[in-house]
Structure 1
Amino acid sequence: MKPTATRERILDAAERLFAERGYDGASLRAITGQARVNLAAVNYHFRSKRALMRAVFARRLEPLNQKRLALLETCMAARANGPPDLERLVEALVAPAFRMGEQSTGEAAALRKFMGWVLVDPGVQIERVLAEQFHEVALHFVAAFRRALPDLPPEELFWRIHFSIGAMASVLTGAPFLKIASGGRLDTSDVDGVVQRLVAYISGGLRAPLASGRRRRRGPPGGSGAS
C-alpha cells in the first residue's frame, strides 16, 4: 500500500472517531483498528495523537476557511464604498460548512458531523487547534461584521457572533431536537433550504435591537440604578 493511501486511511478513521467519541474518547488503538494499520504507521506519519488531530483539522478546515475568505472578499468588494450586505456576510461564514463533500451524500453527512463536533467539543486540545485554524478567519469576519453593524457595541457583537456559531453547530451536528419535534417530517438534507433559513435566522439575531436591560445599564456593577 502506498504511504499516501495509508496516511489517508488513518486520517479518515481518526476523523470519524474524533467526531463520534471526542478527542479523549478516541484512542489510538481504536483509530488503528478502524484504519486497519498498526501503531507504527501512526507514529511514522504523525508522531503523536496530538499531531494526528492537527492533521485531521488541517485537512478539513484549511480548504473550508479558504473558501470562507474568498466569499468574504467577494462580498466586501461588492460594497467597497459602504457597509457590506449582512446576509451575504453570514452566508459566507456558514454556507461552506454545509456544502463540504456535496458530491457524496455519505461523505457530506460525515463532514457536517465532524464540523459540528469541532465547534462544540470543549476540550483544551481542541481549543488550541481551533485558535490556530480560525484566527485569521475570525479577525476578517469580525471586522466585516463591524462594518455591517456599526451601531452595535463590540461586546454585544462578540456575543451575537458566538450565539450564531452555536446555531450553526447545532444544525451541523444533526439537529436532533428538530427531528423529534417535527416527527421527522422536515427535510434536513435540503442543504440550500437549511442554509437559507439559517442565514435569515442569524441575520435577524445580529440585527436585533439591544435588550432593554442592556440599554439601561450604564453604571458600574453593584451601583445604584433604576429599579
Structure 2
Amino acid sequence: MSDLLEARQVDTATRILDAAEVLFVEHGFEATSMRMITQRAEVNLAAVNYHFGSKDALFQGVFTRRLTPLTRLAVQNLDKLEAEAGPNAPSVDAIMHAFVDAALDIAHDPKRGGVIFVRLLSRTFVESHPALRESLPRHYEELVARYAQATAKALPHIDSNELQWRLSFAFSAIFNAFAGNNILRLFVSDPVVNARDPRLIATYLVPFVVAGLIAPATAKGA
C-alpha cells in the first residue's frame, strides 16, 4: 500500500508541475493563479500546498526539473566541440550552434519538456521573476562560464568588457526568440515571421547572433 500511495503522490506532483508549466508559458507567472493550476491539474489547493508549499516554490520546481537536462546537454556539446578543435578555438558560429542545438534537442523531446519548456525557460529570462534570481546563478554558473570562456578564446581581439556586452545581447536575443515573442505583430498586421517553430527560429537566429558577436571591435573611448 505504501508503494501505491507513493506512486499516487508522484503522479499528483507531476500533474501539478505539468499544468503549471503550460500555464506559466501561456500567461506568465504573475497572471497564472493557483486556481488556474488546480483546475488544469484536477487537484485541490491542499495538494499543491502539500507538494510545493507556495506558488514561488512551485515555479522553482517547474523550472529546476527541466533545467538540468538542458545545461548538461549544452555543456556536453561544448565539450565535444572543444575536443574536436584541439588547441585551436572553435568558431563563434560553432559555439552558438552548440548552445542552440541543445535547446532544439530539448524542444523536440517531450520527455525532457519539449518546446513548452524551451519557451518557459526563455520567458523566465525575459520576465526575470524574483523567485529564481537566487537559484539561477547556481544552476547556470558552469554553463555561462564555459560559453563565455569559449567565446573569449574565439575572439581574443575583443575587449573583455565589450565581449560581456555582446554576450548579454546575444543571449537576450536567443532567449527572447525562443520565448515566441514576435515584436513585429505590434507593427505589422500579418508578419511572415513564424515565432513558434524552434528550428526555423534557429535558422535565422544563429547567423544574426554570430554577426553581432564577431563585428569589428568598438573604438576605445567611443
**Cα distance change on mapping 1:191 and 1:16 into 2, 3 Å:** closer
- State whether residues 90 and 199 of structure 1, in contact with CA within 8 Å, keep that contact through their aligned partners in structure 2: yes
Quick one: which amino acid aligns to residue 207 of structure 1? I
Matches within 5 A, 1:78-93: 78-93=84-99
List per-residue Cα deviations over 1:5-26 (Å, max 9, x = no partner): 2111100111122223333333
Q: Does 1:25 align with 2:40?
A: no
Q: In the alignment, which of 197, 202, 209 is matched to residue 204 of structure 2?
A: 197
Match for residue 35 of structure 1?
Answer: 41
Aligned length: 213
SS in 2 for 1:151: coil
- State whether residues 178 and 201 of structure 2, in contact with CA within 8 Å, keep that contact through their aligned partners in structure 1: no
Matches within 5 A, 1:124-143: 124-143=130-149
- State whether residues 116 and 169 of structure 1, in contact with CA within 8 Å, keep that contact through their aligned partners in structure 2: yes
Structure 1 CA distance for aligned equivalents of residues 221 and 195 of structure 2: 40
List per-residue Cα deviations over 1:32-69 (Å, max 9, x = no partner): 22211112212222233232222111121111111101
- State whether residues 60 and 132 of structure 2, in contact with CA within 8 Å, keep that contact through their aligned partners in structure 1: no
List per-residue Cα deviations over 1:111-155 (Å, max 9, x = no partner): 333122112013222322322221221111111111111111111
Q: Does 1:207 align with 2:214?
A: yes
Indicate the percent of aligned positions where both proteins have the same amino acid: 31
Match for residue 222 of structure 1?
Answer: none
- State whether residues 178 and 198 of structure 2, in contact with CA within 8 Å, keep that contact through their aligned partners in structure 1: no
Quick one: which amino acid aligns to residue 221 of structure 2? R
Match for residue 221 of structure 1?
Answer: none
- State whether residues 91 and 199 of structure 1, in contact with CA within 8 Å, keep that contact through their aligned partners in structure 2: yes
Q: CA deviation at 1:207?
A: 0.5
List per-residue Cα deviations over 1:76-116 (Å, max 9, x = no partner): 11112111221111011223223424256xx7443333122
TM-score (norm 1): 0.82
